[in-house]
Structure 1
Amino acid sequence: MSNIGVQVIIAMIAGTLAGIALGEDAAAFAPLGSIFIHLIKMLVIPLVAVAIISGAAGLGNSHAAGRVGLTTLGFFGLTSAVAVALALAMGEIFQPGIGIDFTAIDAMYEGNLAEKGQLPTFWATITGMIPTNVFTSLHDGNILQILVFCLFFGIALSKVESSRAKPLIDGINTVVDAFVWMINVVMKVAPIGVFGLMADAVGTFGFAALSTVMNLFMVYVATILIYGFLFYPAMIKTLTRIPVGKFVSSMKKPQAVALSTASSMATLPVTMDVCEKELGIRNSTASFVLPLGATINMSGNAIYYGLVAVFFAQAFQVDLGLGAYVAIILTSTLGAVGQAGVPGPSFLVVAVLLAAGIPIEGLPLLFALDRIFDMIRTALNITGDAVCAAIVDELAGEEPIEDEQPAEARS
């Protein structure tokens, strides 16, 4: 997989050119992308389940386990809030929605958007995280329910007598290794799948659709770059011993996969592989933090929600007060927890707009381009997961974890 990042980027460029040249006929390449995504999805759910059990079992006996869990959750919440605050600031500075005419999109308006944007109540969210049948959760791919059960089960294993639990934990770790090997094999065909995905997306929608929202797109990309190449590296520099250059270079591979698949979950095996083998992060930490992050860490999404809110507020000439900004930050940060790490149109942005009293009539214009936005924000999401794993590993490194070899020396 040493050259997978370069191969994926080349495939993206080739697919884009094919989509531009062939137009809608490029849809003939769509099955190549579908096969690749299906192969990834086939392995991701069971990998996430066993990886979380392995990570929770490894951390369970550590005195730092409580701090690790709180640090992880605190990091995800704080960075998401900072991300949406940055997005609001960038939106106010560059004002991408000024002068936009939405009169031509009335026919696109879907009257049921408001229903899709309704967030569940607090207790409904908590109750929905607890599975009544874990096998049903695995069958349905309910990531949050799988997460809760596997964390609980992994911690329980760590509390069982070591001599009895060790064979099972060793077996689970072996299964994790087997799944990672399978993912690595599937990733060998990633460039072919990426070519099909890009050719189909560009051929179907084209870049002409971006013209109306080009200002939003440019501010969005700029905000993502600031967060990913200034804020996150600053955290690595300040809170870990990993050289910033090494971190940025190592993350190119998972970022390329995230761009191509638009899925944090599909990128998870590659992120884990890079964090452990190239950044020296311990397996127990990576197995705990990264699956959790792929489920609930959505800083890239938070930036998108904040910018879209400002964009439409400016387009419809809605004055946002302090209360509206607070509503946008809270809704974006808390709502992202329930976002599954898979590609697809995001209707949480509807809830963000409704919370701030912003009209939602213009949203259909963005749904056709959601794949492009999703690809970019997913790359930032998985970068944040890796940053959190590095910081948590620094914290957990103060406490020896039973039955685990020390991490590779960081250079």
Structure 2
Amino acid sequence: MLNKKGFMNNIGVQVVIAMIIGTMVGATMGESASMFAPLGTIFINLIKMLVIPLVAVALISGAAGLGNSSNAGKVGLSTLGYFGITSALAVALALFMGEIFEPGKGIDVSGVEGMFSSAYASKGELPTFWATITGMIPTNVFQSLNEANILQILVFCLFFGIGLSKLEKTRREPMLNAVNAIVDVMVWMINKVMIIAPIGVFGLMAEAVGTFGFGALMVVFKLFVVYVAAIVIFGFVAYPLMVGLFTKTSAKQFLVAMKKPQAVALSTASSMATLPVTMETVEKDLGVRNSTASFVLPLGATINMSGNAIYYGLVAIFFAQLFNIDLSIGAYIAIIVTSTLGAVGQAGVPGPSFLVVAVLLAAGIPIEGLPLLFALDRIFDMIRTALNITGDAACAVIVDAMVEEEHKKTVRTENQNA
């Protein structure tokens, strides 16, 4: 009886149950299920209220902790390298599965051609390299905080945290203690907000399913199935395998721990909104140090988008097959490069759907059919967000293990020299 009570009191279990009930209510009530939308809005707004301050103080704390060690540069480079490589691998997997299962072949579009539109051609311009770099540097950090410009907040807080780590100990410690105290307060507030998570998730799911239904899914059903299969392979095989190979944490332990943040990511469709839960899970359940988690996870929530990369790659293959276009090697390379780099520049693109435009244009694929996917973007977004935060957590575990091993080597060398 006690085990059953503990199981039902688990927030992850409650969120999954709320998702199922919300889906059933949305499917039954149809568009009138939008009456539950305010429940989801209240939950999301409470999370948003806390996320930006948490990201700011957590990054300062993490950067200060790393900046005072010899591993800071290695952690930064390893994190960025990991994000780039896994995103490229994700889109390569998507292209491979798209070619094997051919989700765009044999589809009759005669009944849905009325949804086609060429109005999105102007939406596909990605920021240039220098536009992305200059856009990351805030001219007014308070304006960046007000506008929730995550990349600019990230740059300032990392710089500030490293600067804090360079102060003499007597001046550094009181400030660092204050920052860590604020982190603890923010985590306490978020834990209280998470009590109403199942209610908010119910509202979000009821509205999403009730508004869009599953009818629109039929047109792109095969694409959806292949997409989910690719997400499952990367999230439940590739990432756990990496963790198992490069750390002492087992793949099973990693997967069990990630249930709760994955459930929250599915419901909110936001890596940033899920960040507090991801941080708590990575630190408490997977034993990652706060300095590593506070650096890697906010950075990952901003630029690590392997789930998006899979989506972009599969959509490109889907429309190429739909319009009977044979892709060249150059087109495949263009899809991989644009999908991988696009995630970093996503802050300058109005919504993830429009980044697909850039990928399609880069490969010379018609974009008229994109409105077929827009109604289902919420469902696609929920699933890819769950993979994105799984990748962030895997990176934190791997980088922390690498830093720990480096620290042990240094201690051994010092002891031998002594």
TM-score, reference length from structure 2: 0.93
The corresponding residue for 2:260 is: 253
Contact kept in structure 2, 1:20 and 1:206, CA below 8 Å: yes
Q: CA deviation at 1:47?
A: 0.7
Which of 148, 151, 171 aligns to 2:155? It is 148
Count of paired positions: 401
Question: Quick one: percent identity of the two aligned structures?
Answer: 73
Structure 1 position 295, deviation (Å): 0.3
Question: Partners of 1:296 and 1:285 in 2: how far apart?
Answer: 16
The 1-side partners of 2:64 and 2:25 are apart by 47
Per the alignment, residue 276 of structure 1 pairs with 283
Instruction: Please give the alpha-carbon distance, in whole angstroms, between the structure 2 residues aligned to 1:159 and 1:238.
Output: 35
Alpha carbons of structure 1 residues 370 and 338: separation in structure 2 relative to 1, 3 Å: same
Partner residue of 1:95?
A: 102
Give distance in 1, aligned partners of 2:108 and 2:252: 44
Amino acid at match of 2:33: A
3-state SS of paired residue (2:249): coil
3-state SS of the aligned residue for 1:227? helix
Matches of 2:349 and 2:125, distance apart in 1: 20
SS, match of residue 347 in structure 1: helix
The one of 198, 206, 209 aligned to 1:191: 198
CA distance in 2, matches of 1:16, 1:44: 27
> Is the CA contact 2:349–2:355 (under 8 Å) kept in the aligned structure 1?
no
Question: CA 1:342–1:203 in structure 2 vs 1: closer, same or farther (change >3 Å)?
Answer: farther
Secondary structure in 1 aligned to 2:353?
Answer: coil
Mapping of residues 28-47 of structure 1, within 5 Å? 28-47=35-54
- Which residues in structure 2 correspond to 1:325-404 (within 5 Å)? 325-340=332-347, 345-398=352-405
The question of 1:233 aligning with 2:246 is answered no
For residue 242 of structure 1, the aligned residue among 229, 234, 249 is 249
**What CA deviation, in whole Å up to 9, does each residue of 1:236-261 have, x standing for no partner?**
11100012211110000000000000
CA distance in 1, matches of 2:206, 2:352: 19
- The superposition leaves residues 161-199 of structure 1 with CA deviations (integer Å, 9 ceiling, x where unpaired) of 121011111111111111111111101101000100111
Decide which of 107, 116, 121 is 1:114's aligned counterpart. 121
Residue 14 of structure 1 pairs with residue 21 of structure 2:
yes
User: Partner of 1:119: helix, strand, or coil?
Assistant: coil
Q: Does the 8 Å contact 2:127/2:348 carry over to 1?
A: no
Distance 1:291 1:298, change over 3 A: same
Corresponding residue number in structure 1 for 2:12: 5
CA contact (8 A) 2:126 2:349 kept: no
User: Are 2:270 and 1:263 aligned?
Assistant: yes
Deviation at 1:343, TM superposition (A): 11
Give per-residue Cα distances to partners, 1:109-154, cap 9 Å, x unaligned: 4433111111111111111111100110000011111111111111
Which amino acid letter does the alignment assign opposite residue 121 of structure 1? T
Which secondary structure does the structure 2 equivalent of 1:346 belong to? helix
CA 1:385–1:343 in 2, change beyond 3 Å: closer, same or farther?
A: farther
The residue aligned with 2:169 is 162
Unaligned runs of 5+ in 2: 1-5, 409-418
Match of residue 288 from structure 1: 295
Specify the alignment match of 1:130 in structure 2: 137
Query: TM-score, with normalisation over the residues of structure 1?
Result: 0.95
Asked whether the 8 Å contact 1:144–1:338 carries over to 2, the reply is no
How far did 1:101 drift? 2.9
Per the TM alignment, residue 342 of structure 1 is displaced from its structure 2 partner at its CA by 12
**Residue identity matched to 2:100:** I
Residues 265-297 of structure 1 deviation map (CA, whole Å, 9 limit, x = unaligned)? 010000000111111000000000000000000
Unaligned runs of 5+ in 1: 402-411
**Using a 3 Å threshold, how does the CA distance of structure 1 residues 97 and 363 change in structure 2: closer, same or farther?**
same
Partner of 1:213: 220
Worse-matched range after superposition: 29-38 or 106-115: 106-115
Q: For residue 125 of structure 2, give the secondary structure of its aligned residue in structure 1.
A: coil
Q: Please state whether the residue corresponding to 2:107 is helix, strand or coil.
A: coil
Q: C-alpha distance in 1, partners of 2:132/2:189? A: 34
Task: Give me the CA root mean square deviation.
Answer: 1.7
Distance 2:80 2:205 in 1: 34
Q: Is the 8 A contact 2:62 2:292 kept in 1?
A: yes
Q: Does the 8 A contact of 2:320 with 2:327 survive in 1?
A: yes
Moved over 6 A (4+): none
* 3-state SS of 2:219 partner: helix
Partner of 1:60: 67
* Corresponding letter in the other structure for 1:396: V
* Equivalent pair of 2:41/2:200 in contact (CA under 8 Å): yes
SS of residue in 2 equivalent to 1:118:
coil
Amino acid at match of 1:76: F
Give matches, 1:281-320, under 5 Å. Answer: 281-320=288-327
Amino acid at match of 1:269: P
